[in-house]
Amino acid sequence: MKDNKENVDTHLSFLIDNSLSPSAILDMDGLFLHVNDAFREQFDSEQGKMLTTILAEPNEMQWTSFDSQTTQSAPLETDMSMKLKNGDHTTVKVKFMPILDKQQAIMICEVPDKHDLSEKSYLHAFRHAKCFMIIADNEGTILQVNDKTMEFVNLPKDYFTGRPMDVLFLLFSEQPESIRHYIQKVRTYGCAEMWKRFERSQGDARHYHITSFYNLDTEQFLIRIYDQTELIHLEEKLAHSDSLSTVGELAASIAHEIRNPMTALKGFIQLLRIATPEDSLKYLSVIDGEIERMESILSEMLLLSKPATSKQTIFSLEVLVNDMIQVVQPKALMEGITIIQKETSLTDSLVIGDAAKLKQAILNLLKNAFEAISNRGIVTVSIDLDEKNRVVLSITDTGEGMSMKQIKQMFMPFVSSKPEGTGLGLPFVLKTVESHGGEITVQSEINSGTTISLYLPSAHEKMPIEVARAHKVVS
């Protein structure tokens, strides 16, 4: 029996699953190997049961007739008195189509006057809708659910059928009182909606839009649940982009206003150095150092505020990364940090963009990796291609790592875990990568380190092949 079940043709089972007619695949002994939803709804039978269990008057002669005709490879059409799921007996037109090489047959049933064409179309649309749908009666008992239960809430159909609607809303942490209020609202106004966050599995949070309707004619509830996770994420990205734009404009105006008096201060400090006693020069040095630090902060603010448009050139990301590693290598040696640059299998790593801005972004990431390592560690740099043919630069450190909260806040302006940090370095990195049509991903674990990956479109995706071949690697 097990072998026969495993030998059911997947293509045939797919076809009958999408058929509106009650259909099944059975072997020559009359054992059901596969049945579709329409078959289950009509007859009280499942995979693993015998055909004789749903015949109103099962007899050996009737089955022998089927067995002998189907072995002749000819389709058999016959009328059978069969038991329906509701207990009624009716004459069903049945067509058997043999599959001799597998010693199986397809059984297609035509139950008279059960559903007209419009009802069948409705059932098909209900089963295969993209949203999760539930139908409940006037008392709130769930009558039917479609095939999206596992996809949306990771639960089988049987969990819902025959139970009150409350079981659905309890999944979204709704309190019994609020559930009763919501259902009453649906009865009174005919419809209601809610937005709910649902953790489908660990780390997989979804955002669902739930709309509920009540039909006075049928006295039934219809609940539709749409997955709007991508829309929510897009809105968050747009809001973040707007906030960066606002911060950029504010940063530019503040930086320009502060730089003017700072220039005057620096000039007066130079004059004071001439007339100040030697034992007081140390105070002027402190003042001068703090002014330089303020200028550095202003420079970062101006970098963040500059428009994303720039001169586009084709250059090798690998060569650019090599240059930046050479720049930070002395600092790494002084701090006892080892930089490992993995060999890449790419023939080239050409990208299109602003090399100067990407250099600054990579420099920021390398500095952050160093600062995350408190006492001797390793920073690993690798370049590869992903499945979308994007050039991927990954920088991994063996530092302290970050919590989920820190990861969510790391690209927000003016948020920094460093005492003297400005919180503008990573927003600049994000802005630079996004302006190049790329993406950033972050993986981190407390006490295990962090990996930041930049995904940049390959130059070959943005220009004709002949042009790509004509360009040389540019640092």
**How many residues can be counted in the chain?**
475
Q: Which two tokens stand for residue 366?
A: 């390398």
Residue 452 zone, left/alpha/beta (φ > 0; ψ -120 to 50; rest) = beta
CATH class of domain segment(s) 313-470: alpha beta
Tens digit of pLDDT for each residue in 213-268?
998 888 899 999 999 988 888 877 777 666 666 666 666 677 767 777 777 777 77
> What pLDDT score was predicted for residue 456?
92
> What pLDDT score was predicted for residue 464?
45
In degrees, rounded to 5, the angle at the alpha carbon of residue 206 between the alpha carbons of residues 153 and 390 is 120
143 neighbors 220 (Cβ within 8 angstroms):
yes
> What pLDDT score was predicted for residue 295?
75
- Burial of 351 from C-beta contacts in 10 A (0-12 / 13-18 / 19+): buried
Tens digit of pLDDT for each residue in 91-108?
889 988 888 778 888 999
DSSP string, 45-71: --TTSBGGGGBSS--HHHHHHHHHHHT
**CA–CA distance, 142 with 164 (Å, rounded to integer):** 6
Q: Where are the domains of the chain?
A: 2-114, 129-227, 232-305, 313-470
Q: Give the three-state DSSP class for 39.
A: helix
Q: Give the three-state DSSP class for 125.
A: helix
- Taking only the tens of pLDDT, the chain with its 475 residues reads 444 445 567 777 877 887 788 999 988 888 899 998 889 888 878 888 888 888 887 764 455 555 555 555 678 888 888 888 878 888 889 988 888 778 888 999 988 765 555 566 666 677 778 899 999 999 999 988 988 888 899 888 889 989 999 999 999 888 888 888 999 999 888 899 999 988 887 778 889 999 999 988 888 999 999 999 888 888 777 776 666 666 666 666 777 677 777 777 777 787 787 777 777 777 777 787 778 777 766 776 666 555 545 567 898 999 999 988 988 888 888 889 999 998 887 777 889 888 888 888 898 899 889 988 877 899 999 999 888 889 999 999 999 888 888 888 888 776 666 656 666 778 888 888 988 889 999 999 888 899 999 999 988 765 544 434 433 333 3
Same fold, 2-114 and 129-227: yes
**CA–CA distance, 279 with 297 (Å, rounded to integer):** 30
CATH of 2-114, one of 3.40.50.1110, 3.30.420.40, 2.30.29.30, 3.30.450.20: 3.30.450.20
- Going from the C-alpha of 390 to that of each of 9, 25, 233, 459, the distances in angstroms are 39, 46, 22, 9
> What pLDDT score was predicted for residue 379?
94
> What pLDDT score was predicted for residue 224?
92
Q: Which two tokens stand for residue 58?
A: 């099962």
| Domain 129-227 part of CATH 3.30.450.20 | yes
**Which stretches of 260-386 are assigned E, i.e. beta strand?**
313-316, 337-341, 350-353, 377-385
**CA–CA distance, 465 with 328 (Å, rounded to integer):** 35
Name residue 92's beta-bridge partners.
Answer: 80
281 neighbors 273 (Cβ within 8 angstroms):
yes
Name the DSSP letter for residue 184. Answer: H
**pTM: predicted TM-score of the whole model, two decimal places:** 0.42
**CA–CA distance, 357 with 308 (Å, rounded to integer):** 10
> What pLDDT score was predicted for residue 202?
75
> What pLDDT score was predicted for residue 174?
83
| Element holding 373 (H helix, E strand) | none
77 neighbors 95 (Cβ within 8 angstroms):
yes
Q: What is the CATH number of domain 232-305?
A: 1.10.287.130
